[in-house]
Amino acid sequence: MPDPSTASRRPLLSGNWKMHQNHFEAIQFVQKFAYLIGKDELADVDVSLHPPFTDIRSVQTVLESDKLGYALGAQHCHWEDKGAFTGEVSPAFLEKLGVDYVICGHSERRELFGETDEMVNRKVRAIIAHAMTPILCCGETLDERESGRTEGKVLGQIRAGLAGVTAEQVAAMVIAYEPIWAIGTGRTATSADAQEMCAAIRACVAELYGASTAAGVRIQYGGSVKSGNIAELIDQPDIDGALVGGASLDPDEFAKIVRLGR
């Protein structure tokens, strides 16, 4: 995991490709993106690419052979190293592929596949155990937001997701606030609303682990992020990057996001 004394609070812009891009398309993306975002642009920002599992080895090969400065990410994993879990992927496998960041508790995994807070916590601890960095996702539905339950839902997910994790480990983690009602809808929380929740998340971490840990943890915003709103979002004091979905599938658009999000 990154040393929080050197890596914390640098913007982290993560492209979550979800179930898009076969491995040929993934290679083409990385090659085009490399022409747009080179080492100079990476001097003050981190970029992670999260392709589908079938693409990870192909993307890893391009990143390593061309000595590109992007981090390799995965979209989720199981918490066990091995076993009779047909269709799942072990964190040990991802570690061997040089994966740096693993998304866990994404709203689509929670809402569509029934992942519970306990399952997410087990994944967080497994990812850390294999020297990778979790991107712990949290967020509320529109109904929860409109009924005033946003903070209770989000901070409850944070407390559950971090159970059994040490202060040092938390300081090196990433937390992604992704309001469910804004994902893929074109609707985005205002920068003020996003900042308010990210500040509440940091305050929750401070309550659990202390101010220095809260100062180290990076907090991303996710939810219809694009080049038109990234600058305003990243300008907020408690937003340290973005978890980008659909806009990260277009290398030109994602390159704009990275430049404007530095």
Catalytically annotated residues:
106, 178
What backbone torsions phi and psi does residue 78 show, to the nearest 5 degrees? -85, 170
Residue type, 30: V
Secondary structure letter of residue 70 according to DSSP: P
Q: Name the CA dihedral angle for 12, 141, 201, 165, rounded to a multiple of 10 degrees.
A: -80
Say if residues 144 and 150 touch (Cβ distance below 8 Å): yes
What backbone torsions phi and psi does residue 139 show, to the nearest 5 degrees? 170, 165
Q: Name 101's bridge partners.
A: 73, 133
Extract the tokens encoding 192: 């003020």
The residues, any chain, with a CB within 8 Å of residue 240's CB and separated by 6 or more, are 9, 10, 11, 12, 218, 219, 220
- What is the C-alpha to C-alpha distance for residues 138 and 204, in angstroms, rounded to an integer? 13
